[in-house]
Amino acid sequence: MIDLRSDTVTKPTPGMLAAMMRAAVGDDVLGEDPTVNELERRVAALFGQEAGLFVPSGTMANQIAVRVHCRPQDEILIDSTSHIYLWEAGGPAALSGVTCRTLEGRHGRLSVAQLEGKIRPDDMHAVRTRLVCLENTHNRGGGTVYSLHEVQAIAAWARQHHLAMHLDGARIWNAMVKTGVRADQWGQAFDTIAVCFSKGLGAPVGSMLLGPRDLISYGRRIRKLFGGAMRQVGYLAAACHYALDHHIERLAEDHANAQIIAQAVATVPGLRLTPPEVETNLVWFEVHPSLGTAQQVAERLRSQGVLVAALGTNVIRAVTHLDVSREQCHQAAAIIRQLAQ
């Protein structure tokens, strides 16, 4: 099977497993895991942030961020198709008593023009506007990438209005490789950043929240509350160190492979790339009813050995990653082209 459902389906490489076996570990709840402590220092420094907090999932990193920035009755300004709003099980409401004011971004990307005028008045009837959340690359938007300039403009606007800025950077690594903009340049625009090691970087588990020391130490209390404090977790952190050493630059291969898939999709009448330009490793496309439902198209591809994700009645996502080779992407592309018959 050629599994293009997600960049989370990867298994640790032999090199990564060997690094995990060699990890020095301790009880991280007591702050005694040297491999975790080093990873927190390393990634914080990479993004020009003061401190880091290792957590089990990207969802937890984002939801701790919401909790440390906001109090109940606060509101977030966020794109309507963002992961925090759409795919984190109602976390802001359930865990922090926070509402989301959703805006219709352009393929997931917000602009200052859209944010202007969305701050609630200082009035007891209203929620308090507190936080702007951006996502880069944007998953549902189609793996789209913000330019640094767009992000800096939003950050300047947010600071002017005393709003905090959080980045859901589950795939910020892909944005770095795509644009050549360094981690610390992205980092400067945000108060807090969530990054994932378990997507394109290929680690089995692990995400991190980055930010100022005081917010991160408050976040440590919230991580405990959310059940995310772990013990000899250096075995997992070692996989993340390995991923940072070996799996960032190679994301360019995933982006090139995504073009192979996208070009095949574009040849099939009844399939439409959304957005039409694929920027990174996520290929989203719509299925015209003449070809059936997304589920039916996914079944046809599965019967030929290609797995994709049907994520709506007429929406499919195909994702390239560490565990699919260029050759396999050519094979998958040939199978996708056959849908035209």
Ligand X SMILES: *Cc1c(COP(=O)(O)O)cnc(C)c1O
Interhelix angle for 58-69 vs 213-225, to 10°?
120
Nearest Cα to 185, choosing from 149, 158, 211, 216? Answer: 149
Distance separating alpha carbons of residues 254 and 326, to the nearest angstrom: 8
Strands (E), 43-95: 51-55, 74-79
Nearest Cα to 56, choosing from 202, 206, 216, 198? Answer: 206
Minimum Å gap between C-beta 268 and ligand X is 26
Minimum Å gap between C-beta 326 and ligand X is 23
Report residue 298 CA to chain centroid gap: 24
Give the Å distances, CA to CA, from 10 to 93, 117, 167, 216, 302: 32, 43, 24, 29, 18
Nearest Cα to 228, choosing from 74, 75, 63? Answer: 63
Closer Cβ to ligand X, 88 or 333, answer by number: 88
Closer Cβ to ligand X, 3 or 135, answer by number: 135
Give the Å distances, CA to CA, from 268 to 2, 261, 291, 300: 20, 11, 10, 14
Closer Cβ to ligand X, 63 or 328, answer by number: 63
Distance separating alpha carbons of residues 131 and 228, to the nearest angstrom: 23
- The binding track of 93-132 with respect to ligand X, each residue x by CB under 6 A or -, is ----------------------------------------
Classify 165 as helix, strand or coil: strand
Closer Cβ to ligand X, 144 or 264, answer by number: 144
Closer Cβ to ligand X, 6 or 263, answer by number: 6
Interface with ligand X, residue 220, by CB under 6 A: no
Minimum Å gap between C-beta 303 and ligand X is 28
Interface with ligand X, residue 135, by CB under 6 A: yes
Q: Of the listed pieces 24-32, 54-62, 157-165, 251-259, which binds ligand X according to CB under 6 A?
A: 54-62
Interface with ligand X, residue 10, by CB under 6 A: no
Instruction: Return the residues of window 59-88 that contact ligand X according to CB under 6 A.
Output: 59, 62, 83
Minimum Å gap between C-beta 58 and ligand X is 3
Q: Among 40, 168, 191, 254, which residue sits at the site for ligand X (rule: CB under 6 A)?
A: 168
Helix and strand element counts for the chain (H, E): 15, 13
Interface with ligand X, residue 57, by CB under 6 A: yes
Q: Please report which helix (H) or strand (E) contains residue 253, including its range.
A: helix 251-267
Q: Residue holding tokens 């209390």? A: 221
Q: How many CB atoms lie within 10 A of CB 299?
A: 12
Quick check: 323 and 254 in contact, CB under 8 A?
no
Interface with ligand X, residue 139, by CB under 6 A: yes
Using CB positions, name the residue nearest to ligand X.
58
Interface with ligand X, residue 254, by CB under 6 A: no
Instruction: Return the residues of window 188-207 that contact ligand X according to CB under 6 A.
Output: 196, 198-199, 207
- The binding track of 169-188 with respect to ligand X, each residue x by CB under 6 A or -, is -x------------------
Token couple for 284? 């989203």
Minimum Å gap between C-beta 281 and ligand X is 11
Minimum Å gap between C-beta 292 and ligand X is 27
Minimum Å gap between C-beta 85 and ligand X is 11
Classify 310 as helix, strand or coil: strand
Q: Of the listed pieces 58-66, 92-100, 227-235, 303-311, which binds ligand X according to CB under 6 A?
A: 58-66
Distance separating alpha carbons of residues 251 and 271, to the nearest angstrom: 26
Q: Which residues bind ligand X (CB under 6 A)?
A: 57-59, 62, 83, 135, 139, 168, 170, 196, 198-199, 207
